[in-house]
Structure 1
């Protein structure tokens, strides 16, 4: 009986350690889902050289003082947003970043690499346009927040934003020490106090991926008067972009 109990305990420990090892080894495969680029020819593509990689940016070039940079979700082909953004922002040059491994970008996505590439893109864009607004959706909201804490952006719009990916992962995998395992934490709340530009948070009422409490927690971190939030009633995480008020809200924040 005792031997059987010990055997059961050892088996449970082995299973736990095995599952934890797999979770650690494949964690980035659970976070990033690279997509190919579907829209735009060579005239709609900017290749940004970054160290030993080539980072693709879908663009709508425009000789204007205004520009908009867009950072998408973890499974998004940002080129698909080009037609709608081009119509919604006729007076803005558009720059939509494909994360490493996405679209025509080389390399593999990591938090450090994506944040680095975002800064490089902003520096290039701000040298061409004096007023640069930034929009980040889902995973990209964390990228946009970090950028806005490091550079002088004109306006900031965050769509379905989160307080921390680490926080969400801890709730999803409560039996594992996720804090010590997770490599890409995207702790947006750390950078919010440094943001002083007008910021709009667009929240999906029925977000099934990023719980509304996470967006609300992030909103509470902003200094008074810096940010406002708008909730799209009935919207979920993946269908928010198809709502009629989606682009009009983004325009109101730009």
Structure 2
């Protein structure tokens, strides 16, 4: 058997590298929604979270799926209701302790349960999550909670949901925690060695919608955020034309912003945008 020349060995290595790269790219494309939406936990007992007045709301999506959400009504007459859209690794139960300070202030809080998360049926996609969120807002209007008394709170992935909704209709206020310009930008920053920007099915392009927001916006971001780099938050804030405020915490990362005394500042922002009767 003839020995391979050095050139043939190099070509073999190069071809193996190309095949490996294409295989990796194909796998990332095929499993991107599994990476983007790490969902599937079961819904815990609502009594276990210990928030007085919290109850379960069951809604049916347009495509016939049963979705469970949690809701505590406002205790003060005329107080707003804060609609919480959690991040991609969040669940209903772990967001109640984080955002119970809104209920402590007398505000209503609606914890949105995504499809595929917290034991809910279905698999998440951008269009489905936005459509499901619209179903929640329709239910709130049926309960007499107007958009003028509704605050959208979007956390990480949830910031994309909040921006999409706020671009279509004006609400009392919008709070964006650790937001992004688009998921495509975030993916490209993390997977710089792949054409990630061109592989993303659910773009969540908040930057393209930023100048359509009309409600006052509070944007909070940690400068040590290793998930959605703070530069994305700054770019998004610059693009927003509505009344806005940015809080950038030098020591904070992606998940620990509320370790730096933000509860009072966020509550004050909401209070300033709504006159509580």
SS at match of 1:216: helix
Tell me the equivalent position of 1:59.
71
The size of the alignment, in residue pairs, is 252
Classify 1:83/1:169 alpha carbon distance in 2 versus 1 (closer, same or farther; 3 Å): closer
Question: What is the CA distance between 1:6 and its match in structure 2?
Answer: 2.3
Structure 1: segments with no counterpart, 5+ residues: none
* Alpha-carbon distance between aligned partners in 1 of 2:179 and 2:254, rounded to the nearest angstrom: 10
Q: TM-score, normalised by structure 1?
A: 0.91
Tell me the equivalent position of 1:44.
55
* Alpha-carbon distance between aligned partners in 2 of 1:36 and 1:210, rounded to the nearest angstrom: 27
SS at match of 2:57: strand
* Alpha-carbon distance between aligned partners in 2 of 1:201 and 1:103, rounded to the nearest angstrom: 26
Classify 1:45/1:237 alpha carbon distance in 2 versus 1 (closer, same or farther; 3 Å): same
State which of 227, 249, 263 in structure 2 corresponds to 1:232.
249
Question: What is the CA distance between 1:164 and its match in structure 2?
Answer: 1.2
State which of 204, 208, 226 in structure 1 corresponds to 2:222.
204
* Alpha-carbon distance between aligned partners in 1 of 2:141 and 2:92, rounded to the nearest angstrom: 20
Question: Deviations along 1:204-225, whole A, 9 cap, x unmatched?
Answer: 12212111111101111111x5
* Alpha-carbon distance between aligned partners in 2 of 1:39 and 1:88, rounded to the nearest angstrom: 21
RMSD, aligned CA: 2.0
Question: What is the CA distance between 1:39 and its match in structure 2?
Answer: 5.5
State which of 245, 258, 264 in structure 2 corresponds to 1:248.
264
Question: What is the CA distance between 1:85 and its match in structure 2?
Answer: 3.3
Classify 1:84/1:238 alpha carbon distance in 2 versus 1 (closer, same or farther; 3 Å): closer
**Residue range with higher mean Cα deviation, 107-116 or 4-13:** 4-13
Please give the residue correspondences for 1:93-132 in structure 2 after superposition, counting only pairs within 5 Å. 93-128=108-143, 129-130=145-146, 131-132=149-150
SS at match of 1:220: helix
Please give the residue correspondences for 1:40-189 in structure 2 after superposition, counting only pairs within 5 Å. 40-41=46-47, 44-50=55-61, 51-62=63-74, 65=78, 66-83=80-97, 85-89=99-103, 90-128=105-143, 129-130=145-146, 131-189=149-207
Question: What is the CA distance between 1:83 and its match in structure 2?
Answer: 4.3
* Alpha-carbon distance between aligned partners in 1 of 2:190 and 2:249, rounded to the nearest angstrom: 25
* Alpha-carbon distance between aligned partners in 2 of 1:12 and 1:104, rounded to the nearest angstrom: 41
Do the aligned partners of 2:57 and 2:68 also contact (CA within 8 Å) in 1? yes
Q: Which has the larger radius of gyration?
A: 2
**Residue range with higher mean Cα deviation, 84-93 or 137-146:** 84-93
Classify 1:39/1:18 alpha carbon distance in 2 versus 1 (closer, same or farther; 3 Å): same
State which of 27, 30, 35 in structure 2 corresponds to 1:30.
35
Do the aligned partners of 1:134 and 1:156 also contact (CA within 8 Å) in 2? yes
